[in-house]
A and B are shown apart, each in its own frame.
Chain A
Amino acid sequence: MTTRAANEKLIMDASEVSRALTRIAHEILERNKGTRELALVGIRTGGVHLAHRLAKRIQEIEHAKVPIGELDITLYRDDLSLRKEQPILKTTHVPFNIADLKVVLVDDVLFTGRTIRAAMDGLIDLGRPAEIQLAVLVDRGHRQLPIKATYIGKNIPTAGDEVVQVFLEEDGEEDRVVTRQGLQNS
């Protein structure tokens, strides 16, 4: 079903991914004392899948539905004016008013922090949330901005030139997190 490159190292398998998400769901509920005023916003594309999974787990635990939004951060990137070709845009879809909500941003990998900076700017353009929290499946370090995740699936010490990749069922892959030598993360 899935082919693995030779230089790939498995960091989390499907059951570890699942357990990490279950724990994060519990932590979100614990910290926010339930689901009141709570919303999940996934950063496209990996974060969107994870946001949906977290919402499903939260519903199983608490029997309450949490609104889910999808955020495309391309227009807020800090390297837009430096690029020769513009990256393909996807649509932001946040079908509820985020004003005064406690918004949990969800992403797959936390690396430099630049994506999260862009996501926070994008989010605030949609309204003024009461609070922004951050949930990531993997924190691989090497921050270039003072940004810290509220919920972390797993901390992975990496070299700067290593690639961390999260594969998810929603994209037709077996759930897993791998690291590889070589190309820089995009």
Chain B
Amino acid sequence: MSFKHKHLLSVAPLSADEIMLILETADSFKEVSGREIKKVPALRGKTVVNLFFEPSTRTRTSFELAAKRLSADVINFSPSNSSVVKGETLLDTARNIEAMQADIIVLRHPAAGAAETLARGVKSSVINAGDGWHEHPTQALLDLYTLREKKRNFNGLRVAIVGDVAHSRVARSNIHALTKVGAEVRVVGPRTMMPFGIERLGVRMYDNLDEGLRGVDVIMMLRLQLERQGRALYPTIREYSRLYGLTAERLKLAEAGALVMHPGPINRGVEIAPDVADSFSSVILDQVTNGVAVRMGILYLLSGANQ
């Protein structure tokens, strides 16, 4: 089994075997990240460009660290300090970056499909680090890595994804990834936050949190996107929090030993109570640690495909 993709644009076209290959590759890099000298020469001489059109600390830092631990050179490029404000298009920006011999471009962009467009227009490998409401494949892969580490097996694992599923690229990538590897996925949230026809992705929908949490092994909380507050998806933050916030009381409805995940940044006291975020069930910081290993794995697998 080898990885034949040139880009990582979404989880949807990956096979279960390819997902497992990425996770197994990440195992080796988790070991590297545990060493005193956290560096291997695998990507020596390669250039990775982080092209971020949206603010991000966690993902960008994680990619930067991943590339550096592989000995690649990293350039961070974000629109606030670039020619984009002067009216340059995405493709022109990317072609300029490519002209400086970038091997891999990591793109975060507010428009769905931006990574796909970029991949068609440049010779470099493209990694989607989040495109609009579409996908955030590396987040889903690091979530799966964390699950595999804690639960060993995906088969029949019951996972509840809670929150604004309609506007969440993390939810979409996770639904694709989890259903491919054999987990049973539920989505929980108010109807206003559920995309029409979500069941066709092979998930069950719940609009009552207590019912949705009953018997699950994993709870993935999504960030309530407070910046969308004006859109009348819910009456008030306080009401949302009361109906869909994860509390210690509600956590008891899940299976004993259930894991609590969150892609970050968390809104304490909104979608997740502070004591739950800091509890033993919470693997939120493991997700961050594993993110570096998984991204190293992806950079490694894609770095071979350029010639």
Contact = CB atoms under 8 A, between A and B. Distances in A.
B2 A88 contact: yes
A86 B35 contact: no
Contacts of A22: none
Contacts of A76: 40-42
Interface stretch (A5-13, A77-85, A141-149, A159-167): A77-85
Contacts, number: 63
Interface string B1-45: 111100000000000000001001101100110011101111011
B138 interface: no
B303 to A, nearest CB: 7
Interface stretch (A34-42, A119-127, A130-138): A119-127
A48 to B, nearest CB: 15
A96 B41 CA distance: 22
Size range of the interface on A?
20 to 34
Contacts of A83: 304
Contact of A125 (B2, B39, B44): B39
Interface string A63-103: 00000000010111000110111101111110000000000
A94 to B, nearest CB: 9
B44 A85 contact: no
A86 B41 contact: no
Contact of B2 (A86, A93, A122, A127): A86
Nearest to A121: B41
A85 B1 contact: no
B2 A89 contact: no
B301 interface: yes
Given A125-B37, A125-B39, A85 B28 contact: no
Q: Give the interface SS of chain B, mostly helix, strand, loop or mixed.
A: loop
Q: Give the interface SS of chain A, mostly helix, strand, loop or mixed.
A: loop
A91 B27 contact: yes
Given A75-B42, A125-B37, A84 B25 contact: no
B1 to A, nearest CB: 7
B46 interface: yes
Contacts of B4: 85
25 contacts: A75-B40, A75-B300, A76-B40, A76-B41, A76-B42, A80-B42, A80-B304, A81-B45, A81-B46, A81-B303, A83-B304, A84-B304, A85-B305, A86-B301, A86-B304, A88-B24, A89-B27, A89-B300, A91-B27, A92-B28, A121-B41, A125-B37, A125-B40, A126-B37, A127-B36
Interface of A: 72, 74-76, 80-81, 83-86, 88-93, 121-122, 125-127
